[in-house]
């Protein structure tokens, strides 16, 4: 069995995720999935199913209040399927693209096959599944122990809570079994820190985690791939900037950080500096944040996390590439160089395309929601970016949107989750050489 590199593999990804969402919608509409034993409206079911499969976390009904235990298990299964599928398919698409591109510069018989052999596919799939289960199990153990010993839950219920939130955290889903998300645990480091570790590792992406595990004791940072270095550096810089800015902006806000002590403010500020990357849990009332904080969070949500991971957004690698493009242009350099490597013009164009398409989607969604709802720009823009970046944070307006607005967010979540992956891979697979060039002309820029 071979995985072809020709054609449009991105279509298979889109169709597969749409099928899972459809199955989830049907299951969530069943009376057994609702706490009251009645049929759930299809708009609510499709919204929740899409949010779970696309590991977003936006909700239009209270998760523990509306859904029965069966419904919650369905949501947990959809989150797991979506997270594993995203990491696996994104990693496989990366292999497909890299193998296809190598064909143009290598002529050996080994690479002329234009296929990925079964060993490569098996290695990626088993690696993603093993890594996910190990991280989720470790997080679930810590959360379960804390739930049982500190909050008096039974072992059965504590284990259920631990497993659900561990799966939701590692897959950057943001679903919680409490009406206030994790606000009741805002200053509990034994709850918040394991969840932070889980969603950060899930958001870095399988290729980076695999490289960390392989080169953990390597003495030279230069031995790491350029992708891993860019991802770790970019993720770290945004994490630090987000933590400092959000903590500083909300430090004296009595509705958010103002009521905590210094230790509590630092812990909660760190949590909210990292959760927009795109975990979606909140330990503060997001709707009470300053407009400046919401804008900072918008940027963090739009950029997102690492490629081939459970985080959404345009990805930190894409943002970093454009930053180096600007730096090269400011220096007057004809080519973009990063860490001793030259970046091809094709990769630069792909990064620009992903960013501009993302901006266009957020703009259009924000414009439509402003026309459909009475909410202000801050809240509507926040909701649109959260849906596109598959974050799940909200100022509290999601459940008050009209059905058309909910369906718009469904499209935005689906496009935001699969769009950057499929668009980037499709652009790379469509690259072709030209046998001629046209006369050059330079329009005025700026």
Domain region containing 208: 7-429
Tokens of 321: 């590439």
pLDDT of res. 402: 95
Residue the block writes with tokens 């969603």: 199
Residue 438 inside a domain? The answer is: no
Angle between helices 316-331 and 226-250 (to 10 degrees): 100
SS3 state of residue 210 = helix
Residue pair 401/409 in contact (Cβ under 8 Å)? The answer is yes
User: Could you report the per-residue pLDDT of 63-119, keeping only the tens digit for each?
Assistant: 999 999 999 999 999 999 888 876 676 556 555 555 544 444 333 333 323 334 445
pLDDT of residue 421: 61
| Rounded CA separation 300/242 (Å) | 7
Q: Can you give the pLDDT at residue 308?
A: 72
pLDDT for the residue 436: 61
79/375 Cα distance (integer angstroms): 30
d(CA 351, CA 337): 15
pLDDT (0 to 100) of residue 8? 54
- Domain presence at residue 435: no
- Per the structure, the count of domains in the chain is 1
In a domain, 445, yes or no: no
DSSP SS3 for 4: strand
d(CA 249, CA 267) in angstroms, rounded, equals 15
pLDDT at res. 343? 86
Q: Which two tokens stand for residue 407?
A: 């369906």
- Residue 442 maps to a domain: no
- Assigned domain for 444 exists: no
Query: Per the domain annotation, does 414 fall within a domain?
Result: yes
Angle at 383 between CA 425 and CA 187, to 5 degrees: 105
Q: Which residues contact 6 (CB under 8 A, 6 or more apart)?
A: 114, 429
Q: What is the C-alpha to C-alpha distance for residues 422 and 13, in angstroms, rounded to an integer?
A: 8
d(CA 82, CA 86): 6
Measured from the Cβ of residue 69, the count of other Cβ atoms closer than 10 Å reads: 12
Report the pLDDT value the prediction gives residue 251, as an integer from 0 to 100: 95
- The b-or-e profile of 87-115 (16+ CB within 10 A means b, else e) is bbbbbbbbbbbebbbeeeeeeeeeeeeeb
Q: Which two tokens stand for residue 198?
A: 């889980």
Strands 3-4 and 341-343 turn out to be unpaired
Does 437 reside within a domain? no
What pLDDT score was predicted for residue 431? Answer: 54
Tokens representing 283? 């330990």
d(CA 402, CA 391): 21
Q: Of the candidates 119, 115, 87, 110, which has an alpha carbon nearest to the alpha carbon of residue 17? A: 87
The list of the chain residues with pLDDT below 70 reads 1-11, 86-87, 89-122, 216-222, 420-438, 440-442, 444-446
Task: Name the packing angle between helices 69-102 and 206-214 (round to 10°).
Answer: 70
pLDDT value of residue 32: 97
Instruction: For the chain, report the end-to-end CA distance as a whole number of angstroms.
Output: 52
Chain segment 147-162, per-residue pLDDT in tens: 999 999 999 999 999 9
pLDDT at 250: 96
The pLDDT of residue 2: 38
The per-residue pLDDT for 350 is 81
Residue 1 located in a structural domain? no
What is the predicted pLDDT for the residue at 83?
84
Distance in angstroms (rounded) separating the CA atoms of residues 376 and 369: 10
Closest CA to 63 of 84, 83, 24, 33: 33
Taking the C-alpha atoms of residue 6 and residue 214, their distance in angstroms, rounded to an integer, is 31
């Amino acid at each position: 069995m071979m995985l072809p590199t020709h054609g449009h593999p991105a279509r298979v990804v889109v169709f597969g995720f749409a099928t899972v969402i459809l199955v989830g919608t049907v299951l969530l509409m069943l009376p057994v999935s609702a706490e009251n034993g009645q049929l759930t409206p299809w708009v609510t079911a499709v919204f929740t199913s899409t949010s779970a499969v696309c590991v977003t976390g936006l909700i239009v009904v209270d998760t523990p209040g509306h859904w029965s235990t069966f419904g919650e298990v369905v949501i947990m299964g959809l989150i797991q399927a979506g997270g594993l599928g995203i990491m696996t398919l994104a990693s496989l698409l990366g292999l497909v693209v890299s193998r296809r591109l190598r064909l143009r510069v290598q002529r050996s018989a080994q690479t002329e096959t234009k296929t990925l052999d079964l060993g490569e596919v098996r290695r990626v799939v088993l690696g993603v599944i093993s890594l996910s289960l190990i991280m989720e199990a470790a997080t679930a153990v810590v959360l379960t122990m804390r739930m049982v010993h500190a909050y008096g839950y039974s072992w059965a219920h504590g284990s259920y809570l631990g497993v659900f939130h561990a799966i939701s955290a590692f897959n950057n889903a943001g679903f919680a079994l409490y009406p206030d998300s994790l606000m009741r645990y805002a200053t509990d480091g034994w709850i918040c820190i394991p969840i932070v570790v889980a969603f950060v590792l899930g958001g870095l992406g399988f290729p980076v985690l695999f490289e960390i595990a392989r080169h953990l004791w390597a003495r030279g940072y230069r031995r790491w791939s350029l992708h891993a270095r860019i991802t770790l550096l970019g993720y770290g810089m945004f994490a630090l900037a987000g933590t400092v800015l959000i903590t500083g902006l909300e430090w004296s806000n009595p509705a958010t950080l103002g009521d905590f002590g210094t230790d509590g403010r630092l812990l909660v500020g760190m949590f909210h500096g990292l959760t927009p990357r795109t975990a979606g849990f909140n330990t503060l009332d997001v709707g009470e944040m300053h407009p400046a904080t919401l804008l900072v969070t918008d940027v963090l949500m739009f950029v997102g996390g690492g490629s081939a991971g459970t985080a959404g957004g345009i990805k930190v690698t894409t943002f970093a590439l454009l930053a180096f493009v600007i730096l090269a242009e400011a220096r007057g350099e004809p080519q973009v160089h990063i860490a001793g490597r030259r970046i091809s013009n094709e990769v630069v164009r792909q990064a620009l395309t992903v960013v501009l398409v993302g901006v266009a989607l957020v703009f259009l969604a924000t414009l439509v929601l402003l026309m459909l709802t009475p909410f202000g720009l801050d809240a509507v823009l926040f909701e649109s970016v959260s849906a596109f970046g598959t974050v799940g944070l909200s100022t509290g307006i999601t459940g008050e949107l009209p059905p058309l607005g909910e369906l718009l967010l469904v499209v935005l979540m689906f496009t935001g989750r699969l769009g950057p992956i499929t668009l980037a891979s499709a652009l790379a697979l469509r690259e072709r050489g030209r046998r001629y060039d046209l006369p050059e002309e330079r329009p005025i820029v700026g």
